[in-house]
Amino acid sequence: MTAEVSAPPGVILAGGLARRMGGGDKALREIGGRPILARVIARLAPQCGGLALSANGDPQRFAPFGLPVIADGVANHPGPLAGILAGLDWAAANRPHARWIVSAPGDCPFLPRDLVARLRAALHSEGAELAVAASKGQSHPVIGLWSVALREALGRALAVEGLRKVDAWTGRYRVATVEWPAEPFDPFFNANTLDDLAEAERLAALEDRI
């Protein structure tokens, strides 16, 4: 078994703009003195066979993290599906033995440490084609396990059909949904507003005490 099979590469979707925080990159905002993106990397790196960042614009702003930065291959920045497609294309070119990639947004600082293991287990036990995370009964479709074999189909859906919604894409396939407990806090909490940043500071302090 190759390392790529045992640990799929991960793609962090770091292109979100912090419009509700006054602009800039959400993933570069700090919690507890560390960029949110640094916390995401720390959570995912031990679970993955390498990481890449999906982001448009000047890649140099992410240089301190030492990861490859991949831009959308679809025009007009159509959203997270384009980032997932870019990740699939990157894996096909750079991780030829990889059958899957894991995706996660760059503004989720408390991702579960068993994310990849549980997604993979559910995928195989349920005979599914995709696996996504959930909490509080709500699916989080950008946090999931994606088949590299589906990249051409996803490319057509984006470029030809104009598909934009992630759940519209996942709805075409057999999906394993894996639920995580939301106590003592939701591991898929993401920071969208200044209030969320304040809450993230509180949760980070709470986590340090657990």
The CATH code of the domain that includes 143 is: 3.90.550.10
60, pLDDT greater than 60: yes
DSSP state of 15: -
> What percent of the chain has a predicted confidence (pLDDT) above 90?
73
The listed range with the strongest mean pLDDT (19-23, 27-31, 39-43) is 39-43
**Using CB atoms within 10 A of its CB, is residue 61 exposed (0-12), middle (13-18) or buried (19+)?**
middle
Write out 45-67 in H/E/C secondary structure: HHHCCCEEEECCCCHHHHHHHCC
In this predicted structure, what is the pLDDT of residue 20? 45
Q: Structurally, how many domains does the chain consist of?
A: 1
Distance CA 130, CA 128 (A): 6
Maximum separation of any 2 CA atoms in the chain, in Å: 50
For residue 201, give its domain range.
3-209
185, pLDDT greater than 60: yes
Distance CA 90, CA 51 (A): 11
Residues 175 and 134: beta-carbon distance below 8 Å: no
The first and second tokens of residue 154, run together, are: 């996803």
